[in-house]
Amino acid sequence: MTELLYYNDAYLQHFDTTINGVDGDRVALDHTAFYPGGGGQLCDEGWLTISDRRLRVAKVKKEGATVWHTLEATDSGLPEMVIGQGVHGELDWERRYLLMRTHTAMHILCGVVWRDYEASVTGGNMDPGAGRMDFEFAAMSRELVTDIEEKCNAEIAAARPVRSQILPREEAFQIPDLIRTKINLLPEGISEIRTIELAGLDLQADGGTHVRNTSEVGQMRVTDYKSKGAINKRIYIELE
């Protein structure tokens, strides 16, 4: 089992831990600040220092309760890795922080569209600094997306605090509109649910990483929109 440090502190960039599993070029750690991906957010990248060798972490994946870190071998291969060995972790912070800003921007977009148009999310994805989200709209126009863009930037300027909380499943599902996606993607077996709240705008289940305040997102721009079906419209955004 891997303790997930990013749940309590998304701004943690460095950490010391120990190896608790080895599988070829992959290591599992006792605790990690690396986000393993999910909910449309890419996994983190960065470095692990093992036996005084700084190795690139190319991929992070959660399997059950364990987070595995895939390492890029150098010309001299990988060092010996054994359970209990000390490790220093370092995130690619520029990339992670941009993903945090982007993920929070997607929540702002979702919150505005739900609040003002009552449209459910039907899909989404993000890259560092850009993303797209699909909504259950019958029609979409340039005037509509311009209005949405202006409202999103107003919410960014409002400097709303962003808070996370872990709740028992029964308590979490008493929150109105906790699930904004058209299909509930939360597995039945999960006993605790993490929520992300943009104070006064948005509250929903989410397992990713976010900034502390909407003002950190920066300017958001709607770059395009497309029809993906009779009642499915896609909005593309970028951060400036």
Sequence-distant (6+) residues with CB within 8 A of 78 are 25, 55, 71
> Residue 183's pLDDT is what?
47
Sign of CA dihedral 177, 182, 188, 192: negative
> Residue 181's pLDDT is what?
54
Q: What domains appear along the chain, each with residue ranges and CATH number? A: 13-91 (2.40.30.130), 96-239 (3.30.980.10)
Point out the residues of the chain with pLDDT beneath 50.
182-184
Tell how far CA 226 is from the center of its chain.
Answer: 24
> Residue 167's pLDDT is what?
81
Beta strand 26-29 pairing with 31-32: unpaired
> Residue 193's pLDDT is what?
83
Sign of CA dihedral 113, 165, 123, 119: negative
Tell how far CA 101 is from the center of its chain.
Answer: 9
Provide the 3-class DSSP secondary structure of residue 228.
Answer: coil
DSSP label at 119? P
> Residue 171's pLDDT is what?
76
